[in-house]
Structure 1
Amino acid sequence: LASTAFAIGGLAGWTRFRSQASRGQADDLGGVDLPGSLTGIEIHEGPPVGLNAARVALIQNHVARTWAATAAIVHPGIGMRGADDRARMAKGLADLIDQAGRTELIDEVLLLVRTVPEDGAERDEWIRRHRRPDGPVQARAINDDLQRVLTQASVRTEAFVTIVVPETRIGKAAREAGRGVEGRAQVMYGLMAEVEAQLKGGLGAVAVTWLTSPELAVACRTGFAPGDRAGIVDALLAAANGEDVTADVPWAMAGPSGADVVARHYSHDAWNSISATIKLPVKGAVLGALAPVLTPTEPGERRSFLVAFPILSQAKAARQTASREWAADMGQGLRERARMRSTTKIRDAAAQVRALEAKQARGSAVTRPYAVCTVTVPKTVRVAEYGRRLDAAIRRAGFAPLRLDVSHDVAFAASVVPLGVSLTRTGDA
């Protein structure tokens, strides 16, 4: 059925996207022009907040009927941390999900990480400002050689956290705060403060910056076209030095100039992407288990993944856990009456159900986490080979990959562009 619908969409031209700017029809530069599942996105600027009076971008999805806000975070990582520090951060992540569930507003917490090939833009600007013309020629040559070699072998990590609130939940609270976008902004600001405190506390984030509309547009544009980052950074640095340069990316140009959905990959501008989804195994996963997925294999390759935590409401979680516990007790009683031996798998499943019910009864949130991984490479190389390497990296991490064929555009939007889009659908629970 999915293949038939995809074929019909291809014949009808629904899988091809051409931006209005590429056709010379971009009349409103502030209007969002994005492909696929991002077509219903609208960006609002919230009221000034904080010492810098920043206007945080509020993401409204008219199709999914949700509101979202995205923060860029800086984290020292866990590569050199001991077992105690990792356990503390894992507990901090669990506390973040529990806290989001207790708000009864946040429907989903999305963690997105991108490893972008290093372009050396900041280093070039630093050298331009600090290099002395009378410096030793040999030292200059050595520094240039080191910069050229290390830039090709280096990657830059970008991390984002997005909270998603359904319109059905935020509407009532917004009426008490002033209605409209202003009322919803006040509600979102309160949720953002709670999440930021938990990110800096339990998870150990060094900095949490809620993105404004221009910053979010840059993150969106570099998601579709990683090669554009160097030019954007040069413009931002020039504007910071007082030069008359347009550094902002208009939302009408934040997306790709053209995008095509192919059955086996997603084509956007001069890049191709392949995505795969993974499910948390029954035995669980340790913190940092997805690190091998972010390791690129060739220069110019970008890896990214999204870890989504859809949070069930307390009432729905209570019904599900009660139903599962009743089924486990009924099955155990029938096996005992029939004098059937319970296997280890059955006993473990029953114990897991009872442990889940005990945690839910004590106030813990119930979530079904999943992840989406994406590899992006230029069109000059074979994307199928890099898709195979992505699958191999996922298996080395201890997970089983599932290629999201026929729906790579949705997977790309979820795992690369931090606009609050995920694979979660209404009624999945």
Structure 2
Amino acid sequence: MDATTYRDYSRARLGFFFGLTGWQLAAVTLGLLPPLWEISLGRWAPAGALLAAWAPMALLVVTPVRGRSSAGWLLAAAAHAVGTVTGWSRFTAEAARGAAGPAATPDLPGVLAGTRVHEAPPAGPSGRRVALIQHHATRTWAVTAAVVHPGIGLSEPAQRDLYGVGLTALLDAARATELVDEIQLMVRTVPEDGAERDGWTARHRSPAAPPAARRVNDELQAALRAAAVRTETFVTVLVPEGRLGKAAREAGGGLEGRAQVLLGVLAEVETHLRGGLGMTDVAWLTSPELAGVCRTGFAPGDRAGIIDALRLEGSGESAQVPWALAGPSGADSAVRHYSHDAWNSITATLLLPVRGALMGSLAPVLVPGAGERRSILVAYPITTARAANRQTASSEWSADMADGLRSRARMRQSARSAHDTARVRNLDGKLARGHALVRAYALVCVTAPKSARITEHGRRLDASIRAAGFAPLRMDLSQDAAFAAATIPLGVSLTRGRA
């Protein structure tokens, strides 16, 4: 298998009894016991009533609907309805109510509400104070870097193979640290606003320049702005508090001990980013830089104003975005989209194709339409060695049990089931060779002004996902959390619930 095609993936859990998982089989079996008891006693009327009640319950448990069971959909719909009626899902910033808190305290909605940002001690020749992101709800720490990569559009196949090997080496090294829980790669693309070009022109344009030269430059700038697309790329490293706290105690404890451990991990990650992955620049963001990135995530149109303010003030503190204003003034989560400030967003996840995903195949998804912003998150949750061995053994046992039951029932195994079973049984050898077990997932988000029809932009997003060879799955009833994960590089993970 070449390193540029990712096809060595399977379902996280295999159903060992006709495709049912353990909890589904237990729920169906326990629900069937009362009617069987009534039948054993010869009471047919109560048995019939219990069977009539058991049948819809079993359908709710075992029937999948767009990635979730029917019972899961009912629970999610009920939670969303309660949040909408009570107003819990509606966010209004403290500053919008005239009660803004300290400038350094983030005021963010939804899953970002428990986020706090600390500054690490000065490090490196420039003395940068890297921003340490703490999520109290999930008990995790995250650090984000703005990276620059030359792209793979013009790369030769051999170079792409090296990038694939470099990504594998990064994930294996992250697992070997026994600290990193997840690595996230985020790319945001938006039509160019020309803010930097306007500033450069204002600084270098001579008053004595001929009018014709001025007109040519203005026309060239307008043409380039209409055709150009600006890309922002971020890498986020997540470390759970449970692992970090033990290592931090050996480094002195407290915030300084955690910062020391995290900076050591970041140095190792940066080595792989600049080496095997070919990043030409890796800059771990400071707190003011991260606040600006967060603000432009919620309001893409504010970027030009931030750039102009920084240019005019010379990067002074008065031109920086305070964390108290880094979030939206208001936000509301609907069933199929997320509303924030003057923008609407739709987020979908990608279902990986059976034939595999070629490196660079997501490029069409990142091409924004007129007036919209596209963002994609590719996350690599890393399973610890002990948990990986346990999951692999459980999956192999489920596969063996399923084969035995099918053999006794004389049922033919489908090609898809045989495909999943073969991949599960190959995992043990890969783990023995020192590779990491990763359950990768991806999210794609489109953001458009409220003056535009967000349903039309969502339809275009789904079309671009299908054109890239993937299947879109809209993140209904959880658009707020999906938007935060796909667009705001603060380390929101969909694999970790609240602690």
TM-score relative to the length of structure 1: 0.94
Deviation for aligned residue 1:334: 7.1
Say which of 148, 172, 176 aligns to 1:98: 172
**Partner Cα distance (2:476, 2:440) in 1:** 21
Equivalent pair of 2:190/2:368 in contact (CA under 8 Å): no
**Partner Cα distance (1:284, 1:425) in 2:** 26
**Partner Cα distance (2:96, 2:113) in 1:** 16
1:156 aligns with 2:227: no
Alignment of 1:62-101 (within 5 A): 62-101=136-175
User: Which residue is equivalent to 1:396?
Assistant: 467
1:116 aligns with 2:190: yes
**Partner Cα distance (1:6, 1:426) in 2:** 17
Q: Which amino acid aligns with 2:468?
A: A
**Partner Cα distance (2:141, 2:199) in 1:** 38
Q: Which amino acid aligns with 2:274?
A: K
Cα distance 1:328–1:6, how it changes in 2: closer, same or farther (>3 A)? closer
Equivalent pair of 1:33/1:252 in contact (CA under 8 Å): yes
Cα distance 1:343–1:237, how it changes in 2: closer, same or farther (>3 A)? same
Q: Which amino acid aligns with 1:112?
A: M
Equivalent pair of 2:351/2:473 in contact (CA under 8 Å): no
Residues 268-292 of structure 1: CA deviation (Å, up to 9, x unaligned): 1111101101133343312112111
Cα distance 1:235–1:318, how it changes in 2: closer, same or farther (>3 A)? same
**Partner Cα distance (1:229, 1:326) in 2:** 53
Deviation for aligned residue 1:239: 3.1
Residues 33-66 of structure 1: CA deviation (Å, up to 9, x unaligned): 0001100000000111100111100000000000
1:387 aligns with 2:480: no
**Partner Cα distance (2:467, 2:430) in 1:** 31
User: Which residue is equivalent to 1:140?
Assistant: 214
Equivalent pair of 2:352/2:471 in contact (CA under 8 Å): no
- Helix, strand or coil for the counterpart of 2:374? strand
Give the unaligned 5+ runs of structure 1.
none
Deviation for aligned residue 1:152: 2.3
Equivalent pair of 2:120/2:132 in contact (CA under 8 Å): yes
Say which of 249, 259, 265 aligns to 2:331: 259
User: Which residue is equivalent to 1:417?
Assistant: 488
User: Which residue is equivalent to 1:362?
Assistant: 433
1:375 aligns with 2:446: yes
Alignment of 1:271-420 (within 5 A): 271-298=343-370, 300-329=371-400, 344-420=415-491
User: Which residue is equivalent to 2:257?
Assistant: 183
User: Which residue is equivalent to 2:21?
Assistant: none
Equivalent pair of 1:325/1:357 in contact (CA under 8 Å): no
User: Which residue is equivalent to 2:109?
Assistant: 35
1:60 aligns with 2:60: no
Deviation for aligned residue 1:337: 8.6
1:201 aligns with 2:201: no
Equivalent pair of 2:348/2:473 in contact (CA under 8 Å): yes
1:269 aligns with 2:341: yes
TM-score relative to the length of structure 2: 0.82
Deviation for aligned residue 1:142: 2.0
Cα distance 1:194–1:403, how it changes in 2: closer, same or farther (>3 A)? same
Deviation for aligned residue 1:153: 2.5
Equivalent pair of 2:251/2:260 in contact (CA under 8 Å): yes
- Helix, strand or coil for the counterpart of 1:321? helix
**Partner Cα distance (2:413, 2:140) in 1:** 45
Q: Which amino acid aligns with 2:168?
A: A
Cα distance 1:337–1:380, how it changes in 2: closer, same or farther (>3 A)? closer
Q: Which amino acid aligns with 2:486?
A: S
**Partner Cα distance (2:341, 2:422) in 1:** 50
**Partner Cα distance (1:76, 1:33) in 2:** 35
Say which of 232, 241, 249 aligns to 2:321: 249
When the two structures are aligned, how many residues end up with a matched partner?
Answer: 425
**Partner Cα distance (2:424, 2:485) in 1:** 30
Deviation for aligned residue 1:342: 6.0
- Helix, strand or coil for the counterpart of 1:246? helix
- Helix, strand or coil for the counterpart of 1:401? strand
Q: Which amino acid aligns with 1:135?
A: A
Equivalent pair of 1:335/1:342 in contact (CA under 8 Å): yes
Cα distance 1:248–1:347, how it changes in 2: closer, same or farther (>3 A)? same
Cα distance 1:181–1:354, how it changes in 2: closer, same or farther (>3 A)? same
User: Which residue is equivalent to 2:35?
Assistant: none
Q: Which amino acid aligns with 1:148?
A: A
- Helix, strand or coil for the counterpart of 1:133? coil
If you compute each CA radius of gyration, which structure gives the higher value, 1 or 2? 2
**Partner Cα distance (1:287, 1:401) in 2:** 18
Moved more, 273-282 or 369-378: 273-282
Equivalent pair of 1:26/1:252 in contact (CA under 8 Å): yes
Equivalent pair of 1:40/1:61 in contact (CA under 8 Å): yes
Moved more, 142-151 or 183-192: 142-151
Equivalent pair of 2:143/2:237 in contact (CA under 8 Å): yes
- Helix, strand or coil for the counterpart of 2:438? coil
- Helix, strand or coil for the counterpart of 1:311? strand
Q: Which amino acid aligns with 2:472?
A: P
- Helix, strand or coil for the counterpart of 2:355? coil
Moved more, 281-290 or 353-362: 281-290
Cα distance 1:332–1:10, how it changes in 2: closer, same or farther (>3 A)? closer
**Partner Cα distance (1:383, 1:326) in 2:** 46
User: Which residue is equivalent to 2:308?
Assistant: 234
**Partner Cα distance (1:223, 1:144) in 2:** 29
Over the matched positions of the two proteins, sequence identity in percent amounts to 61
Cα distance 1:339–1:74, how it changes in 2: closer, same or farther (>3 A)? same
